[in-house]
Amino acid sequence: MGLSPEIMKGIKSLGFENATPIQEKVIPALLEKKQDIIGLAQTGTGKTAAFGLPSLEQIDTKAAYPQILVLSPTRELCLQIARDMESFSRYIDGIKIAAVYGGAAIDKQISALKNGANVIVATPGRIYDIIRRKKIDLSKVSTLVLDEADEMLKMGFREDVDAILEHTPVNKNTLLFSATMAPGILSITKNYMQSPLEITIGKKNSVAENLSHIYHTVQSRDRYNALKRVVDYYPEIYGIVFCRTRIETKDVASKLMGDGYNSEALHGDLSQAQRDYVMQKFREKNIRILVATDVAARGLDVNNLTHVINFNLPDDPEVYTHRTGRTGRAGKEGVAVSIISQREKNKIFQLERVINKKFENKLIPGKKEICERQLVKLIDKLKNSPVGHNQLHDYMAEANDLLKDLSKEEIIERFVSLEFNRILDYYKNAPDLNVSEKPSKRRERSKPENRKRNGKGSGKNMSRILFNVGKGKNITKLEIIKLCVGAPGARNSEIGQIEIFKRAFAVEVEKKLANSIIKELNGSSHKGISFNQRESRQ
């Protein structure tokens, strides 16, 4: 590809041998000539190396000013990109890389920038704060990278990104990478990019090819028990369970921990220190199941996840794409499991059309299937357990003497019983959770969970607000979400159920932010549509 010996040495030291499809197309294009590029590819396809390697080739280490600026939506992704860039450039003498993000001491980050950082990886909010303090000069940046651009826009960073780009030179190289082509990205390409080369791996807004999509249909009241069945059926699971709200996230994680599962919650109520602690445990696999909201999980970069489980399906297909993009990476197999109620089947059909993938409708595993899987895991663990002959030597004679009256078969039977009785007892009288037939519309409407909500939110901390714009104005759920999180203080807020009627829409928002969102939307205009609040119910 024409990469320098120093870069190639760094790549080889990481154990990489073959380029991914996005790297095969982007790297030669950037090395050949200076040009703007839009790269569309799923999370985990190697985008960091695709933009990082050729950008590092252009660095002048003798020039002590920022030459590469990478913007990413979250602290976790910012740190991951910075670590990757350091690994790629470990054999380049004199290069300096700085990570700039919120939740850490800004003075130390400013000192690192003053020390002559050549590469800056930053979250938009923190770097814009440093710009406002006039502690950084971006006038000589030669390459600007917008990574996970759709996530940045969804999180409400548009104004920050616009302001940051105004402080960079017009003739810079702009590289935009995203998993989906969100509407707001088009305006960025028109305003800040010059005849960009578009490189798409797979289909636009698609999901990974090596990802299986499964859904189980259960009664709403059985959703948690169905989750436990799924986790027990995959004894080697290492994955994320996505919930709709932080209240539900706390509840599901608490139940899993109480039932003996290796699990933790990740949600907006955690401090940055708590969040870092949970993520460290998860990356080290001391936690096997992370229960998270979409907001809290944005930008998470964790390798080798086996499963993503949708405890609730998202309203927006783009959110499903991002959730499932966290597994099935780098050519590995992944499984996306969705637990749905009968009335959510239409969402599955909509997702199939958007991502162009067929979902497999599977029955929730029963006692026999789960116990067989658990037994195989137990026996495999037994066979592969290291034996410390030296440590055991002094005790084996007594052990053999104590077991001499038991046959080989009896010893195996007792061992399996000792380790296996808990799960056998649990599933001894386990009911069938599968919904075998579609109930009548009248019966479905009569269920408590399907009755009209009458303005009540999905939890004590949620409020339902109503505005005068409906289906007649072609408003979408994604647009409603973006409008709500654009309100002051609402960037990382939870959004609950959204209902779009003929002449109005209703959205559940956090009670503490309801007034701010109402004030932001009331009297505002979007795509020529004027918004006015019709009703607000607590």
- Count how many domains the chain has: 4
Could you give the angle at which helices 106-114 and 124-132 cross, rounded to 10 degrees?
A: 70
Number of H helices, E strands in the chain: 21, 20
Residue 90: what pLDDT? 92
Highest mean pLDDT among 199-203, 355-359, 447-451: 355-359
Instruction: Work out the average pLDDT over 204-219.
Output: 79
pLDDT beyond 80 at 444: no
* Per-residue model confidence (pLDDT) at position 458: 52
pLDDT category at 290 given cuts 50, 70, 90 is very high
Residue 281 domain flag: yes
Q: Same structural domain for residues 466 and 499?
A: yes
Same domain flag for 477 and 496? yes
Q: Where are the alpha helices (DSSP H) in 329-472?
A: 345-355, 367-384, 389-402, 408-426, 441-446
For residue 200, the one-letter residue type is T
Name the percent of the chain lying above pLDDT 90: 33
Q: Flag whether the pTM goes above 0.85.
A: no
Q: Specify whether the CB–CB gap between 123 and 70 falls below 8 A.
A: no
Q: Which domain holds residue 398?
A: 368-426
d(CA 246, CA 266): 8
**Residue 443 confidence class, pLDDT cut points 50, 70, 90:** very low
Residues 118, 254: Cα–Cα separation, whole Å:
45
The answer to whether residues 81 and 34 belong to one domain is yes
| Chain segment 332-390, per-residue pLDDT in tens | 788 999 999 888 888 898 888 888 888 999 999 888 888 888 888 888 887 887 777 77
- CATH number, domain of 523, equals 3.30.70.330
Residues listed for the chain: 538
As a whole number of angstroms, the longest Cα–Cα distance in the chain is: 87
Mean pLDDT within 490-515: 85
The pLDDT tens digits of the residues spanning 3-48 come to: 999 999 999 888 888 888 889 999 999 998 889 999 888 766 788 9
Of the listed ranges 2-16, 107-121, 190-204, 219-233, the least confidently predicted one is 190-204
Same domain, 16 and 109: yes
- Choosing from 366, 394, 411, the residue where a domain stops is 366
Give me the mean pLDDT over the 423-443 stretch: 69
pLDDT in tens, 83-127: 999 999 999 999 999 999 987 889 999 999 998 899 999 999 999
pLDDT at 95: 93
Residue 460's pLDDT band (boundaries 50, 70, 90)? low
- What single-letter amino acid sits at 339? I
Question: What single-letter amino acid sits at 222?
Answer: D
Are residues 115 and 221 both part of a single domain? Answer: no
Q: Please state, rounded to an integer, the average pLDDT across all residues of the chain.
A: 84
In this structure, is residue 305 part of a structural domain?
A: yes
Residue 298 has a pLDDT of: 67
Residues 217, 77 share a domain: no
* Distance from C-alpha of 462 to C-alpha of 521, rounded to nearest angstrom: 18
With a CB cutoff of 8 Å and minimum separation 6, the contacts of 459 are 245, 247, 248, 496
